[in-house]
Amino acid sequence: MTESEPHASSPSRRPTRREVVAGGATVPIAMVPLTMSMPSDATAQPAARDGASPTVSVNVTVNGTRHALALDPRSTLLDVLREHLDLTGSKKGCDQGQCGACTVLIDGRRVVSCLTLAVMTDGASVTTIEGLAKDGTLHPLQQAFIDHDAFQCGYCTPGQICSAAGLIAEGKAKTPAEIRELMSGNICRCGAYTNIVAAIQQAMGQS
């Protein structure tokens, strides 16, 4: 487990298209890089913002990397992943818990990160789509989605795959009807559902 590098000084990080479009202005109001010795207690050393509530310290492990963050309490996990940790695989679709595009695994359970306040993930372990492949080998679900052409535009795909990983771990879905029911929190506007179910069946057979 490694401590995260302070955001701005990651040596291998190249500017993304999003940052170029945004003029490189990722306003760091909610992230203060902290050191390894930071205690896990939430009340420690709040950093003041002008006239606003103090930030809250959060220790969260994302894809095996531990991050010590000081967050505006309003930050959702989705926004922290995308805007602060540069993990843009998790997608913001509806931002209201209705589409599933932001699905990630917290301690192995699938949740919608858009309705998860990041300050409530202190001590948790988060897995995003970026954390599923191991040692350069795609996760069986990622390979199955390719094999079955289980997407068109791909926007819902990271959420679909994270959700399917949670579904397989739960072990409740055995039949295609049960897969469909338990995947109903993930909307695909392209309508790739038939191939998504086939991909999940393939991955279930391998797990």
Partner 1 sequence: MIDFQFARAGNVADAVRQMAASPGAKFVAGGTNLVDLMKMDVEQPAKLIDVNRLPLDKVEEIAGGGLRIGALVRNSDLAYHPQVERRYPMLSSALLAGASQQLRNMASVGGNLLQRTRCAYFYDIATPCNKRQPGSGCSAIGGLNRMNAILGTSDACIAVHPSDMCVALAVLEAKVRVTGPRGEREIPFADFHRLPGDTPQRDTNLDADELITAVELPPRGFATNYTYLKIRDRLSYAFGLVSVAVGLDLDGGNIREARFALGGVAHRPWRKAEAEAALRGKAAGEAAFAPAADIVLRDARGFGHNTFKIDLARRAIVRALSQAARGTPQSQSNKKIA
What does the binding site for partner 1 look like in residue numbers (CB under 8 A)? 42, 52-54, 56, 73-74, 76, 95-97, 100, 103, 109-112, 115-117, 119-120, 122, 163, 166-167, 170, 172, 175, 177-178, 180-182, 184-186
Give least dist CB 197 to partner 1, A.
Answer: 13
Question: Which two structure tokens, joined as six digits, stand for 87?
Answer: 């993990």
Distance in Å, CB of 90 to partner 1, minimum: 12
Q: How far apart are CA 61 and CA 4, in angstroms?
A: 9
CA atoms within 13 A on the CB side of 128: 22
Nearer to partner 1, 134 or 174 (CB): 174
For the CB of residue 14, give the shortest distance to partner 1 in the complex, in Å.
32
Alpha-carbon gap, residue 49 to 58, rounded angstroms: 17
Beta bridge partners of 103: 112
Tell me how far, at minimum, the Cβ of 173 lies from partner 1, in Å: 8
The residue (of 40 and 207) whose beta carbon lies closer to partner 1 is 40
Q: How far apart are CA 165 and CA 171, in angstroms?
A: 10
